[in-house]
């Protein structure tokens, strides 16, 4: 007999096991492990709820929703991020998914929330019924594709005499730069010291004034992206590069079946006309990834965002992810303004 309830800390081991059974399929297939604590990543996203489906004491399904403060039309608003829809393969053909979705929809309605957001790997057909206006939720709107650039670490960084570049603790000055820069997005986080805990930040100054900043983080203690499958052409490229690296040790390439070491760019900003120093900060982060043996320096950028040109100039692989959004209160005008504008999503937390 299946019951649906809120998860608790004692469910950790079973949730980790369920995660290992449910890889994220798509153009590039990954299994996002959450060792040693399934709830750690959720805590970084914000206040969260996890629903689990239990069959005679065994957890066979789960679904999560996390609250975060997002700028909508320049105004802070609570948005729920939906994730972790995981169903034991032996229960996929049953009504378990529908029951989890209905239960979560009821919880969100009772909370009074309006906007819900979700991302999926492009090509993942299994979860599309969630967005079709059935199973307890209204019809979601596609917000477009996020390009998650996996930049090959850079052996050299740019030296510049024009700017002073150095490490910097997160302070009010950096937060003011970030929050001012991200107002260009219709959908973006509100940065704070709490959000940017356990990160490293580099800043650039010109005549003593802060003109650019970039923050990176290693999320390996909360999630591990295990490569399951690549498209044939990517598999050939990676295998070839790995063979070359045995002769000329330039890069550290991932191995299928093992965790991919990723250094994420969690935040960035630069003032007008300072594109050159922003590129210097990217190269600094790429060099840090090289020196510390990461496989990639990663950043997710919406397909409409021109800032992508600062990242695509470097050798990289691209993981495509699609965003979906809905208003539980039927506020179509608000949703349309978001979809028509620029969106930002922090892929270190996905």
Nearest CA-CA partner of 327 in 127, 116, 129: 116
Confidence of residue 317 (pLDDT cuts 50, 70, 90): confident
Rounded-to-10 torsion of CA 123, 68, 77, 71: -70
Confidence of residue 29 (pLDDT cuts 50, 70, 90): confident
Could you give the CA distance from residue 281 to residue 295 in angstroms, rounded to a whole number?
A: 18
Residue range 86-114: average pLDDT?
Answer: 90
Please check whether residue 289 is in contact with residue 263, taking contact to mean a CB–CB distance below 8 angstroms: yes
Residue range 287-305: average pLDDT?
Answer: 96
Q: What pLDDT, on the 0 to 100 scale, is given for residue 60?
A: 97
Q: What pLDDT, on the 0 to 100 scale, is given for residue 237?
A: 59
Could you give the CA distance from residue 322 to residue 120 in angstroms, rounded to a whole number?
A: 5
Entry pTM: 0.91
Q: Please determine, for residue 123, whether its predicted confidence score (pLDDT) is greater than 80.
A: no
Residue range 186-194: average pLDDT?
Answer: 94
Q: What pLDDT, on the 0 to 100 scale, is given for residue 1?
A: 82
Could you give the CA distance from residue 288 to residue 294 in angstroms, rounded to a whole number?
A: 9
The count of other CB atoms within 10 Å of the CB of residue 171 is: 12
Cβ contacts of 95 within 8 Å, gap of 6 or more? none
Residue range 115-143: average pLDDT?
Answer: 84
Nearest CA-CA partner of 14 in 75, 59, 66: 59
Confidence of residue 95 (pLDDT cuts 50, 70, 90): confident
Q: What pLDDT, on the 0 to 100 scale, is given for residue 157?
A: 74
Give the number of C-alpha atoms closer than 13 A to the C-alpha of residue 18, restricted to the C-beta side: 25
Model confidence pLDDT, tens digit, residues 243-291: 656 655 566 777 777 899 999 999 999 998 888 999 999 999 999 999 9
Residue range 321-327: average pLDDT?
Answer: 95
Q: Please determine, for residue 308, whether its predicted confidence score (pLDDT) is greater than 90.
A: yes
- C-alpha 169: how far from its chain's center? 23
In 3-state terms, what secondary structure has residue 58? strand
Among 15-24, 32-41, 141-150, 241-250, the minimum mean pLDDT is found in 241-250
**Mean pLDDT score across all residues of the chain:** 90
Nearest CA-CA partner of 82 in 27, 131, 31: 131
Q: Which residue has the higher pLDDT, 126 or 16?
A: 16
Q: What pLDDT, on the 0 to 100 scale, is given for residue 264?
A: 98
Model confidence pLDDT, tens digit, residues 213-234: 999 999 999 999 988 876 555 5
DSSP secondary structure, 138-168, as one string:
PBPEEEEEEEEEEEPP-S-----SSSEEEE-
Q: What pLDDT, on the 0 to 100 scale, is given for residue 333?
A: 93
Phi then psi for residue 130, to 5 deg, are -60, -30
In 3-state terms, what secondary structure has residue 122? coil
**Residue spans of alpha helices (H) in the chain:** 12-21, 38-45, 96-111, 172-181, 232-247, 275-291, 309-312, 332-340
Residue range 82-99: average pLDDT?
Answer: 90
Q: Please determine, for residue 27, whether its predicted confidence score (pLDDT) is greater than 70.
A: no
Among 128-137, 146-155, 280-289, 317-326, the minimum mean pLDDT is found in 128-137
- In order of their start, the domains of the chain are 2-143+323-340 (3.40.630.30), 150-222+251-319 (3.40.630.30)
274 conformational bin, left if phi > 0, alpha if psi -120 to 50, beta if neither: alpha
Among 19-23, 239-243, 245-249, the minimum mean pLDDT is found in 245-249
Q: How far is CA 57 from CA 3, 16, 22, in A?
A: 9, 15, 19
């Amino acid at each position: 007999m299946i019951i649906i309830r809120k998860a608790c800390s004692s469910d950790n081991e079973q949730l980790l096991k369920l995660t290992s059974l449910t890889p994220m399929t798509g153009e590039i297939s990954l299994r996002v492990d959450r060792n040693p604590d399934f709830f750690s990543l959720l805590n970084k996203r914000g206040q969260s709820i996890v629903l689990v489906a239990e069959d005679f004491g065994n957890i066979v399904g789960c679904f999560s929703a996390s609250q975060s403060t997002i700028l909508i039309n320049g105004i802070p608003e609570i948005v729920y991020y939906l994730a972790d829809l995981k169903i034991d393969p032996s229960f996929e053909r049953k009504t378990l998914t529908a029951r989890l979705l209905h239960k979560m929809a009821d919880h969100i309605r009772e909370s009074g929330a309006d906007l819900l957001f979700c991302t999926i790997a492009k090509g993942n057909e299994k979860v599309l019924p969630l967005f079709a206006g059935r199973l307890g939720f209204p019809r979601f709107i596609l917000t477009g594709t996020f390009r998650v650039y996996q930049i090959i670490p850079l052996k050299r960084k740019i030296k510049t005499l024009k700017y002073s570049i150095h490490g910097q603790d997160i302070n009010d000055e950096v937060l003011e730069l970030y929050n001012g820069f991200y107002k260009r997005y219709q959908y973006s986080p509100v940065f704070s010291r709490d959000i940017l805990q356990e990160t490293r930040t580099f800043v650039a100054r010109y005549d003593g004034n802060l003109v650019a900043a970039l923050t990176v983080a290693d999320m390996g203690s909360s999630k591990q992206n295990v490569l399951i499958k690549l498209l044939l052409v990517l598999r050939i490229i990676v295998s070839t590069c790995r063979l070359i690296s045995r002769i000329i040790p330039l890069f550290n390439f991932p191995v299928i079946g093992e965790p991919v070491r990723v250094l994420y760019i969690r935040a960035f900003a630069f003032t007008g006309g300072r594109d050159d120093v922003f590129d210097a900060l990217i190269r600094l982060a790429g060099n840090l990834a090289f020196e510390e043996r990461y496989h990639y320096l990663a950043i997710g950028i919406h397909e409409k965002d021109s800032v992508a040109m600062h990242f695509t100039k470097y050798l990289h692989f691209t993981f495509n992810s699609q965003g979906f959004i809905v208003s539980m209160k039927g506020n179509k005008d608000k949703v349309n303004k978001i979809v028509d504008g620029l969106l930002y999503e922090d892929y270190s937390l996905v």
